[in-house]
Structure 1
Amino acid sequence: MHNEAKKVKDSLTYLTDLILPADTNHYGTVFGGKVMAYVDKIAGIAAMRHCRKPVVTASGDSLDFHAPIKSGEAINLEAFVTWAHKTSMVVYVKVEGENLMTGERRLTSEAYLTMIAVDEAGRPSPVPAIIPETELEISLYKRAEERYFDRKKQTK
């Protein structure tokens, strides 16, 4: 049924948008909160693709801003599920800024979000396991698993 293990690439999701002046602060760069909203949205889509169920955001393990994105540039996001445990999924999101005149792309943000699958009553619902294949997928899988167990130790 829905709980057969799935490959990372099955959840791969892309989103591109144009940063307009209304999306920016007084420096002409995108609001951090706007980037956070994009990150949360694409993480939700990737998680739903993985489990084919509604999801909610449980936590943002980290969101690191490396560089700004300016008005008139594109924001490019890539997300995929890196690890799954019972009802939760860790989603990695990479954000790039793109100068549409030169084609130059640069890493601007990275984030890890934990999403929980829910049933019709809003209760946590089982999700498929993940099958990492590439070196990057295996590395992210191992790191997500370590972070999960570290968080469990901190909450005890």
Structure 2
Amino acid sequence: MNTTFKTVTSSHITISELMLPSHTNFSGKIHGGYILSLMDQIAFACASKFCGNYCVTASVDTVNFLMPIEVGELVSMKASVNYVGRTSMIVGIRVEAENIQTGVIKHCNSSYFTMVSKDSEGKTSLVPGLILTTLKEVSRFQNCLRQIEMKKLKEEQKNVATFGSIDSILNSNKYNIKVELQ
């Protein structure tokens, strides 16, 4: 167990960027892939700031695009370390877009990135412990514990044979599928 501890606040990072026409997809909205790239950058910065090492992305949990982002809006991303393991951290990210003419701010998405600390030789390295100083931080930590448990359950379910359910899928009309096994 690492004996060094840091506060959640010590990990806080905020970035803002004006959305340009070059960031759009074919429908004229800001491309989700571009937003994901920015999210990965802020997750790296947040985790690296917290642990003092180079960090790599191990996984990205659900990203739900709640609201489209328009050209000319100012996108702000806020990140913090919400959970630490031995060598990994879960970074929570909130994405908001502001119409700079009206001042209206909308929540566009939130996500959790699992980041792993690496030493100068590329080996995993210990991260500081986490000091929780507010009920919100405790709540976020608890949410991460639930998220980890759900991920474990999902992995276990992948290994469970479900051959009996194939018939129910084939004989059901509630799925928009056609099976043509060869």
Question: Normalised by the size of structure 2, how large is the TM-score?
Answer: 0.81
Q: What residue number does 1:25 align with?
A: 25
Q: What residue number does 1:60 align with?
A: 60
Residue ranges of structure 2 left out of the alignment (5+ in a row): 157-182
Report sequence identity in percent: 33
Higher relative contact order (CA closer than 8 Å, sequence separation 6+) = 1
CA contact (8 A) 1:8 1:137 kept: yes
CA contact (8 A) 1:6 1:128 kept: yes
Superposition map of 1:4-153 within 5 A: 4-153=4-153
CA contact (8 A) 1:91 1:115 kept: yes
Residue 22 to residue 3, structure 1, CA distance change in 2 (3 Å): farther
Question: Normalised by the size of structure 1, how large is the TM-score?
Answer: 0.93
What count of residue pairs does the alignment treat as equivalent?
155
Residue 72 to residue 3, structure 1, CA distance change in 2 (3 Å): farther
Q: How many Å apart are 1:103 and its aligned residue?
A: 0.9
Structure 1 or 2, whichever has the larger Rg, is 2
State the Cα RMSD in Å: 1.5
Q: How many Å apart are 1:148 and its aligned residue?
A: 2.0
Q: Distance in 1 between matches of 2:145 and 2:4?
A: 19
Q: Distance in 2 between matches of 1:96 and 1:38?
A: 12
Moved over 3 A (4+): 152-156
Q: How many Å apart are 1:26 and its aligned residue?
A: 2.8
